[in-house]
Amino acid sequence: MTRVPTHPKSPAALAALVALLLFRIPARAEDSLAYKFENYREADGRITVQTQSSAADQDLGQDMHLHLTGTIDAITGATPTGAPAPAGSDQVPLTHMVDRRKAWAGDLSRQFGRVGVDAGFADSRESDYVSNGWSVNTQTDFNQKNTTLLLGVAGTSDRVEAYFEPGNLPKHSASAIAGVTQLINPLTFVTVDLSWDQSKGFLNDQHKLVEKTVQIIPGVSLAEAFAENRPAERKKETGFVSVNRAFPGAHGAMEAGYRYYQDTFGVTAHTLEVAWIQHLGTRFRLEPSVRAYRQGAADFYFYDLDQTAIKPVRIPHGVAPYYSSDYRLSEMDSLALGLKATWVAGDHVQFEVAYQDYHMRGRDGVTPESAYPRAGITTAGAKIIW
């Protein structure tokens, strides 16, 4: 079995990483029960992920709130192995995969005067990957609630099954975030966040390969596949700024955000996202959005190892030399265009549908375009409020 590709914005990937996320404690949520179905489908018979999730929100007294979510992913389709395209072809080799993931998460929040505290836990299980996570966030109001300070920490403890090692390999992470939201005027607020993350342990994708032509006997060479070998530690730093502004005359609002990312793998990335929320009467709204992403390659990304002096090892050990042919670590761009519609059918029921077109392309001039997916993401959901 293999895991779903964790390229940026894959819906299943984002769900699998829920324990890593540090998020703002929301305003007091409505007591509700929600269901959502999402279909992520890559073109040309690549990965398809069908996700069913449910969420429940319930007040527990005046100052406490409980939020629970459950998710099931059904994953099938083909994904690149990491090996290069055969001579004379621009189609990279694919391997078929089938897997199923079950996950749940819960968080309990409580208000202590002007300080809100949220404690969360999460568990995610696949055939060869188990993740447990926790998070604690605080949100403190200042300046007559015109300024809000966010501080949070989180961690995960994962177990990975790899074909080349008996037993499960460990992976651990720790994260922290600090942020400020400032009300500029009654129509505008600005958010600035800085976050840090450190992961240690087995950081490879246990199903990705690299290829090198090896001399078997003098005059005879053969292309051989090896497991990739990434560093055993990765540090990430992210800066985020967003502006939200309402336009009452147009019955709409704009959300615009920019994120800068860098890590010790050598990857740097820029994300720009803009969404418009248009109210059409009191019960219907449309939300078109666009997200552009640009990424630089990891220091150890190679299409293959033939032009390098690297001698790959049979069993990766997390020490240099490092190498990977995973296209998700290459130099690339992606663009996502989306449209979401929400209908408030009554005081206690609302429905939403959404579609997003997601397209990724390489920028290094070496990795074939066939390595990069194009996907359509369809979402439908309903919520009951009481």
Q: What's the whole-model pTM score? A: 0.90
Report in angstroms the alpha-carbon separations of 270 from 133, 140, 237, 335, 374.
Answer: 27, 29, 12, 12, 20
Report in angstroms the alpha-carbon separations of 321 from 309, 311, 327.
Answer: 10, 8, 19
CA atoms of 175 and 108, how far apart (whole Å): 19
Kindly tell me if the per-residue pLDDT of 5 is higher than 90: no
Q: Please report the pLDDT score of residue 79 as a whole number.
A: 96
Q: Please report the pLDDT score of residue 54 as a whole number.
A: 98
CA 329 to chain CA centroid, Å, is 14
DSSP class of 298: P
CA atoms of 299 and 266, how far apart (whole Å): 5
The answer to whether the CB of 343 falls within 8 A of the CB of 284 is yes
* CB neighbour list of residue 319: distance below 8 Å, 6 or more residues apart: 231, 232
For residue 283, the SS3 value is: coil
Q: Please report the pLDDT score of residue 219 as a whole number.
A: 85
**For the chain, percent of residues with pLDDT exceeding 90:** 87
The mean per-residue pLDDT over the stretch 232-259 comes to: 98
CA atoms of 197 and 159, how far apart (whole Å): 18
User: What domains, with CATH codes, occur in the chain?
Assistant: 11-385 (2.40.160.40)
- Give the pLDDT band (50/70/90) at residue 13: very low
Give the pLDDT confidence of 193-230 residue by residue, as tens digits: 999 999 999 999 998 999 999 988 888 889 999 999 99
